[in-house]
A and B are shown apart, each in its own frame.
Chain A
Amino acid sequence: MSAQQERIVANVVVPLDFPYNYRVGPYIERYIKGLGEKKILGVKCPGDASVIVPPRKICGKCNAEMSEWVEVGPEGTIENYTIGHVNLNLGLVEKADTEYVLALIKLDGATSLIPAVVKGVAPTDVEKGMKVKAVFKDPAEDSLADLSHFELAG
């Protein structure tokens, strides 16, 4: 290819974003309504009796439809965690103002773990097995954010 053409490369940026709106479906809909009443709802699999939070239609292990609703938590246990030193902003790494604890939490009565931020404990002190308790937004916003974060229990 000729040098003449090789030199000419256009860097193009498209000055717009594509918006979407997602229907949450009946399971997340009911889960959000539960949060408004400070309740964390899961569903129980008729196959292996596992309790899944957040709730969804299908248990993949049993290929069964889950329709039995159960309340779990609000207390739970830290099963796994990481200490965040950064945040991602539109895919770019930014240093976090303060380090924070992101944990996978097993709610009492649940089989699955949910990811959540744990506050009120120094990152250096956090440990697997710690008991934590859900903190709800008050007043509720009628959104997923109503389960705000977790803090140490008791």
Chain B
Amino acid sequence: MRNVGIISVGYTPVFVSKRKDVNIPEMINEAVDAAFRNANLTPDDIDAITFGNMQTFEGVNLPHLWATEYCKALDKPYIRISTGGTTGMSTLQAAYYHVASGMHDVVMAVTWEKQSEGDSQVGLSGIVMPEAMTMVQHGMDLFGGKGMGFGGGGSTGAAAYQAMSYLHHSGASPEHIDKMASLERSNAALNPYAHLRKKTTVEDVQATPFIAWPLRFGHTCPTSDGATVAILASEDKVEKIADAVAWINGVACCTTDPATGNFIEGQITDPAEQEGAKIAAAKAYAMAGIKDPKKEIDMAELYNGFAHQSLMWLEKLGLCDEGQAHVMLDRGALNIDGELPTNASGGVFSTNAIGASAMNRPTECALQIMRKIEGGHQIPKKIKNAVSHGWGGMFQYVTVTVLGDEPRHG
């Protein structure tokens, strides 16, 4: 199989709650140009473009068509990917397969969201709109809590159930969620491309009100405007046109079922079980030749719409034993200078332009490996292998990408 590497990353200059100064494609274009600028590449170097976002968040159908010129995509092969929260990494993996297949040599992946153009609460509830209506027709008390089947969890939705189930099975306490939140927000404060950039103490987190026990406001992600672009190249092209590279050594994805949203046909799995993450991680590690992720993985970028998820994913992705994540947190192992720096970027929990959220995980890993991190969150130790993770759908999609400082051998 052809080896493929990330040779450039471009972000919009900022990720904020409202970009009032530009329209959608103008914002996307900022990240596209940054990706070219950062690696001294031009549109002529690009063979094909993959593009991803969640279109109901802006209400524009197939927005890649409107954005063609702004993605410098005119006259080029072009494809649009969308898989919910995992969209960003699915779009990166699509670019990976464009190269790994031998069809193309240099491919650009464009991911973004401009959530201020719509109402993300509505966009998310829109996932189960017809099913929820069916339940209501059958007497479900949608928010009142009477009867069977109402969602629960307030604006956190089923994430609160997931958090409680996770705490119960892992032995972690709600205070560990506060602690993880404070760690990631403090990391974000060092990251110029993070949205919420205020150094945050555990006390600051604990001062925020509960939405649905055990989750507080301080445990939830923002909604952001921003775009992220990555340029991928085949091994032979890397030698010719790149000054730095992070290799994509393992890619995998898995879907379970709409675990928390299939109201009308039976919810089948524990939202904290996440079997799909174990399946996808095992595949990605095997592809990357990683035998013992606990030992071989040097950093993790995990998709965490809610702060408890960072701890949960560490366990699901085999980076520690079940129930050990909070122990690692307590001994500082997850800090930027720890054994397994986790979400040094601040995570989705601090920056959430949703279509780009699962892309910012591997791009953060790539920049850490290339040692091209802007701001103060460069991981001091050398990164040989990094794992990035995306999560979405109705809790059912998982994508995993393993990156390395050297290409796969054999």
Contact = CB atoms under 8 A, between A and B. Distances in A.
Is A in direct contact with B (CB under 8 Å) within the complex?
yes
A57 B26 contact: yes
Given A60-B68, A63-B43, A18 B56 contact: yes
A33 interface: no
Given A14-B133, A26-B21, A26-B22, 11 more contacts: A10-B134, A12-B130, A21-B117, A22-B23, A23-B20, A23-B114, A25-B22, A59-B69, A60-B69, A60-B72, A63-B43
Given A18-B119, A25-B22, A25-B26, A58 B69 contact: yes
Interface stretch (B121-129, B191-199, B215-223, B297-305): B121-129
B19 interface: yes
Q: Which 7 A-B pairs have the closest CB atoms?
A: A25-B23, A60-B69, A60-B74, A20-B59, A58-B69, A63-B43, A25-B26
B118 interface: yes
A4 B114 CA distance: 46
Given A18-B59, A18-B123, A25-B22, A57 B129 contact: no
A58 B117 CA distance: 22
Contacts of A25: 21-23, 26
Interface in A50-97: 56-61, 63
A59 B68 CA distance: 10
B24 interface: yes
Interface in B20-71: 20-26, 29, 42-43, 56, 58-59, 68-70
Given A18-B123, A24-B23, A57 B74 contact: no
Interface in B104-118: 114, 116-118
Contacts of A14: 129-130, 133
A20 B21 contact: no
A153 B19 CA distance: 41
What size tier do the contact residues of chain A reach? Answer: 20 to 34
Contacts of A23: 19-24, 114, 116-117
A12 B137 contact: yes
A28 interface: yes
A56 B134 CA distance: 44
Contacts of A26: 21-22, 26
Given A25-B22, A61-B74, A20 B117 contact: yes
Contacts of A10: 134, 137
Interface of B: 19-26, 29, 42-43, 56, 58-59, 68-70, 72-74, 114, 116-119, 122-123, 126, 129-130, 133-134, 137
Given A10-B134, A18-B119, A21-B117, A58 B29 contact: yes
A18 B117 CA distance: 11
Contacts of B68: 60
Contacts of B72: 58, 60, 63
A27 to B, nearest CB: 8
A62 to B, nearest CB: 10
A23 B23 CA distance: 5
Interface string A1-42: 000000000101110001111111111100000000000000
Contacts of A22: 23-24, 58, 117
A69 B42 CA distance: 25
B69 A18 contact: no
B239 to A, nearest CB: 25
Nearest to A58: B69
A55 to B, nearest CB: 12
Contact of B23 (A20, A28, A63): A28
Contacts of A60: 68-69, 72-74
A48 B193 CA distance: 35
Contact of A20 (B118, B134, B137): B118
Given A20-B117, A20-B118, A23-B21, A12 B74 contact: no
Contacts of A21: 117-118
A25 B126 CA distance: 27
Nearest to A10: B134
A22 B134 CA distance: 32
Contacts of B26: 25-27, 57
B125 to A, nearest CB: 10
A57 B67 CA distance: 11
Q: Which of A13, A22, A26 has the most CB of B within 10 A?
A: A22
B137 A18 contact: no
Q: Which of B26, B117, B137 has the most CB of A within 10 A?
A: B26
Contacts of A12: 130, 133-134, 137
B20 A57 contact: no
A61 B72 CA distance: 9
Contacts of B20: 23
B266 to A, nearest CB: 14
Contact of A57 (B29, B59, B126, B133): B29
A48 to B, nearest CB: 13
A37 B119 CA distance: 35
